[in-house]
Structure 1
Amino acid sequence: MNADIYIGIDMGSTGLKAVAFEAGNGATLGTAGDALPHQRLSGGGCELAAEAIRDALFQALRSVTQQLGPRVAQVRALACTGHGAGLYAMDAHGKLLRGAAVASTDQRAAGRARALAQSHGAALFNEVGCQPWSGQPTMVLAELLAQGAVARGDIRHLVFAKDYLSYLLTGELASDASDASTAGLLSLATGDWSSLAFEAAGLSGLGAALPSLVPSGTVIGRLLPGAAIECGLPAGLPVAAGAIDLLASLVAVGAPQRGQAVAVLGTWCVNAVVAPVREPLPAVGAVVHFGVADQRLYLENTPSSMANVAWLARTMQFPSAAAVVECAMTVPLGAAGLRFAPFINGGGAPPNASAGFIGLAGHHDCAHMARAVVDAVAWLHAQHLSRLASFGLGAPGRVAALGGGARDARLVQLIASFLGHPVDRCGDDETGARGAALYAALSQGAGLDALPAACTPVEPARGDDAQAHAQFRAEFAELIDRLAPAFAHLAGASAP
């Protein structure tokens, strides 16, 4: 007897994928997707056309249903996940304003976010669990309004990436706490929308455009007839509420049940752990209320992890990010003295951090540059994970690595060597989609073990190599700290 099938859709910072999973063994039965054609704009803008989102969504689903063949009749539900924050502002007709979404890596509101952090940062952290940052919906929207790029009167709905996908499939608007809280829009104390988040940004009254919040794993609608025909899926298929891609990935690998911290080697440098509520709030990067009263998602992150590698691949014309890593591994740790500040899309600590090579000399070549970038990315994840651990967050010595970068065991071993303990490599790059599919399964009465994911432990370097990694990590941390005045100087010089 064939098992039930659940589909998860994951819209990340760079691409969109749809994956079909078989209940019971968690096997992948079909997968499809591609990169999303983001448009880079002057001033640090990064946008994605509504048409591109829709095309990517329906093309991926059509391909998956074709791969399933007759078994498409066994698909029981689907759910969506996606990157957090950015701006998905819709008009009265359900269309994205200006026909585009704004990515969470958009930098146009960086100056506005810095100014608000100085005036309201502490109050906002206590209220919503994070300080202002450039990719927040409130910061992006305030900036676009100030530029005259959008009109306040045209805004009817504010949603998130995964919610927009669900709307395209069902015509229903809903969200969940994990997306709302990660974007800094939810009161940690009440679990409701925060008026302070909008008032501080100069957007009083726009909170009314926010959708209703429902628990992840709740059916929010059914596949529209036209969408069902276009995708080749059963008519009336239940569509469940998902969660932000980070939480979906944690759930997919069972990290919350084990108290395991997770490093997500994606576009963003994301490091997180689910743990009990702490009072007072620990001074981590962000605290997320994801809908469970006695637990929070604690984060340390910056907008730049594999984005640094992707930038180098694009700039130096490597065929892929994987090719950058391959080239990097031809050079030993330390890249013959070359270092790279891994903040190509900005960073939070030190404040105003930006990217750049330090120590570049005539004897360095593209392999040294690749190695410097890869070393820095792994170092940054290790720093964030150690900071979470310093607050007693997560089971000691238990870390998992997910995301596109985790497909290469050498990157995971680099993180393990910087940490000095094994790291579980969940090399399935579809953990976000798997988590979304698991929420779909939960909506139909399945358990958390419905779609198991395999993880393999990766051991750190030993002996002299272990000492070399520890020394590199300490010296690099000192270097980045000493660059703080330079980062501040550059930020001041570039301010309008």
Structure 2
Amino acid sequence: MKYWLGLDCGGTFIKAGIYNAEGKELGIARKNLAIASPHPGWAERDMPTLWQTAASVIREVLNHCGVAAQSIQGVGISAQGKGLFLLDKQGQPLGNAILSSDQRALALVQAWQKAGIPQDLYQQTRQTLWTGHPVSLLRWVKQHQPERYQQIGSVLMAHDYLRYCLTGELACEETNISESNLYQMECGTYDPALARLLGIGEIIPALPPIVGSAEIAGRINATAAAATGLQPGTPVVGGLFDVVSTALCAGLQDETRLNAVMGTWSVTSGITQAIEPGFDYPFVYGRYAEAGKYIVHEASPTSAANLEWFCQQWGIHDYAALNHCVAALPKAGSQLLFTPFLYGSNAGLGLSASFYGMQAFHQREHLIQAIFEGVVFCHMAHLNRMRQRFPHTSALRLTGGPAKSAPWMQMFADVSGLPVELPQVEETGCLGAAMAAMVGTGAFSDFTTAQQALAPRIETVQPDASAREAYQQKYQRYLALVTTLQTLQNTDFKETL
């Protein structure tokens, strides 16, 4: 029998899955990943520990499934995008990795915005500027940790680092590095002029070669084989930015479907064959896994991680009970609002999370309902903009852990007014990574063929027309609250006083 292994590195967990040529999942192993916050707004990860954890989940899934190492035909990796994983000139981790949710570069990005730098960049990179972009973090390191900056040998992202640990080969995978603000989107190459514009021109020699998602970028070396149980020489492909992985598993192939991902990040994606200018809003483009296509997406760290935080604070572990209590409440029946900005905002840099409208009669279930609603409302900001770029959207495909929550999915359908289609894939990151390995090792000729062969069953949630007016009224109140918070954030109280 032939099998493929997909490794998925997310914001909270790392997972490994094994799949056969029909896309059947034999098993999954997962472990939690710790996030260090040595200062407010910082989000870091210990790189050696990440590799050790990755190796352990690979070994665990091989043992759990009883699959012989020689049966694994190839390995793929899907991971969170952006952030910064640095190696020194000897190829060793250079301090902790900095994750995409890190906000230490906030003041720097705000200064760039005032100087008009994002507008200069956009026409070349098709990216906005975010605190978690590699360029923002590199400039911050240069300013605040100059000795560390001088020691940089290689600039990587999460799956590039894990691939390096598996193979000893340095490369940057295209779907991810294309969104770094160091890459000319239409030319498909690094551009030293971009780095110079951002004050980090000397970093260009530290950028490894670019590889495709399904391109064999290296093979399992002896050290990694001993740590993981994989066979030495097993091919490892470039891999995927996780939003690309989920789009592949959701079956996106044309402009009639958008894919929403609910996890640490709120992401809405669409697939297109062309970069279209002429919009007032700067849509973010990235290279797609399939040659000649782009992924367009909106994203912010404003999704289900807000509920995870709430559950951790109050020791809640029964998600079925959460769903039950939300389903038992009238739709949009409470005046309580929640802005899901615990880890960042899609409405302005520096905005914070908050409950508004809380009174003594509110119970815990009202707070949970407000979190459900706030996350959906925040997704709507992305979805509404994306529908301008994709006017023929007829349905929304939704993936991520919350897709298992029936009341949350019904809420998404009710608020958006679109049918919500739920691909029945347990782990889109692992399957997408395995799909890249299948294409790279010749099991399928390309990603479109792989998508068609591995197409999952789809369940559909239709919107409840009777709830739409109530949700729209509450959504307008949410937007008014966000506008007020923006005004508060931008007010200089020293001048006022």
Flag whether TM exceeds 0.5 (same fold): yes
Aligned position for 1:298: 296
Secondary structure (helix, strand or coil) at the match of 2:172 reads coil
Aligned position for 2:216: 219
Aligned position for 2:366: 368
Secondary structure (helix, strand or coil) at the match of 2:8 reads strand
Does residue 1:485 correspond to 2:483, yes or no?
Answer: no
Deviation, 1:196, is: 4.0
Aligned position for 1:381: 379
Aligned position for 2:21: 23
Does residue 1:53 correspond to 2:50, yes or no?
Answer: yes
2:60 pairs, out of 38, 42, 63, with 63
Aligned position for 2:36: 39
Deviation, 1:153, is: 1.8
- One-letter code of the match for 2:21? A
- For residues 443-489 of structure 1, the C-alpha deviation after alignment (integer angstroms, 9 at most, x for no partner) is 11122454624243332342422332333333323332343212334
Task: Between 320-329 and 7-16, report the one with greater CA deviation.
Answer: 320-329
Q: Is the 8 A contact 2:240 2:289 kept in 1?
A: no
- For residues 328-367 of structure 1, the C-alpha deviation after alignment (integer angstroms, 9 at most, x for no partner) is 4443333621101111111232454321111121112221
Q: Equivalents in 2 of 1:292, 1:184: separation in Å?
A: 21
1:113 pairs, out of 103, 109, 112, with 109
- Percent identity between the two aligned chains: 26
Secondary structure (helix, strand or coil) at the match of 1:256 reads coil
Deviation, 1:368, is: 1.3
The gaps in structure 2 that reach 5 residues or longer are none
Deviation, 1:383, is: 2.9
CA separation of 1:293 and 1:63: change in aligned 2, threshold 3 A: closer
Q: Is the 8 A contact 1:58 1:231 kept in 2?
A: yes
Aligned position for 2:430: 433
Secondary structure (helix, strand or coil) at the match of 2:26 reads strand
1:7 pairs, out of 2, 5, 13, with 5
1:346 pairs, out of 344, 347, 352, with 344
Does residue 1:101 correspond to 2:97, yes or no?
Answer: yes
Secondary structure (helix, strand or coil) at the match of 1:345 reads coil
CA separation of 1:59 and 1:417: change in aligned 2, threshold 3 A: same
Deviation, 1:429, is: 4.0
Deviation, 1:96, is: 1.6
Q: Is the 8 A contact 2:48 2:93 kept in 1?
A: no
Q: Equivalents in 1 of 2:406, 2:146: separation in Å?
A: 44
Aligned position for 1:157: 154
Q: Is the 8 A contact 2:195 2:201 kept in 1?
A: yes
Aligned position for 2:191: 194
CA separation of 1:307 and 1:166: change in aligned 2, threshold 3 A: same
1:96-495 superposed matches below 5 A: 96-98=93-95, 100-119=96-115, 120-148=117-145, 150-257=147-254, 259-280=256-277, 282=279, 283-290=281-288, 294-319=292-317, 324-334=322-332, 336-392=334-390, 395-447=392-444, 448=447, 449-450=449-450, 452-489=454-491
Q: Is the 8 A contact 1:191 1:291 kept in 2?
A: no
Task: Between 322-331 and 373-382, report the one with greater CA deviation.
Answer: 322-331
TM-align CA RMSD: 2.3
CA separation of 1:414 and 1:184: change in aligned 2, threshold 3 A: farther
The gaps in structure 1 that reach 5 residues or longer are none
CA separation of 1:484 and 1:12: change in aligned 2, threshold 3 A: same
Q: Is the 8 A contact 1:166 1:172 kept in 2?
A: yes
Secondary structure (helix, strand or coil) at the match of 2:454 reads coil
Deviation, 1:168, is: 0.5
CA separation of 1:33 and 1:275: change in aligned 2, threshold 3 A: same
Task: Between 156-165 and 376-385, report the one with greater CA deviation.
Answer: 376-385
- One-letter code of the match for 2:195? F
Q: Equivalents in 2 of 1:160, 1:323: separation in Å?
A: 37
Q: Equivalents in 2 of 1:438, 1:236: separation in Å?
A: 19
Secondary structure (helix, strand or coil) at the match of 2:37 reads strand
Secondary structure (helix, strand or coil) at the match of 2:43 reads strand
Q: Equivalents in 2 of 1:407, 1:310: separation in Å?
A: 15
Q: Is the 8 A contact 1:50 1:96 kept in 2?
A: yes
- For residues 72-106 of structure 1, the C-alpha deviation after alignment (integer angstroms, 9 at most, x for no partner) is 432110111100111101102222212x2111111
- One-letter code of the match for 2:338? F
Secondary structure (helix, strand or coil) at the match of 2:297 reads strand
Secondary structure (helix, strand or coil) at the match of 1:41 reads coil
Q: Equivalents in 2 of 1:354, 1:185: separation in Å?
A: 30
- One-letter code of the match for 2:464? R
- One-letter code of the match for 2:360? G
CA separation of 1:70 and 1:403: change in aligned 2, threshold 3 A: closer
Q: Equivalents in 2 of 1:218, 1:36: separation in Å?
A: 28
TM-score (norm 1): 0.92
Deviation, 1:166, is: 0.5
- One-letter code of the match for 1:464? S
- For residues 402-446 of structure 1, the C-alpha deviation after alignment (integer angstroms, 9 at most, x for no partner) is 112222232222111111121111253410111110000001112
Task: Between 395-404 and 467-476, report the one with greater CA deviation.
Answer: 467-476
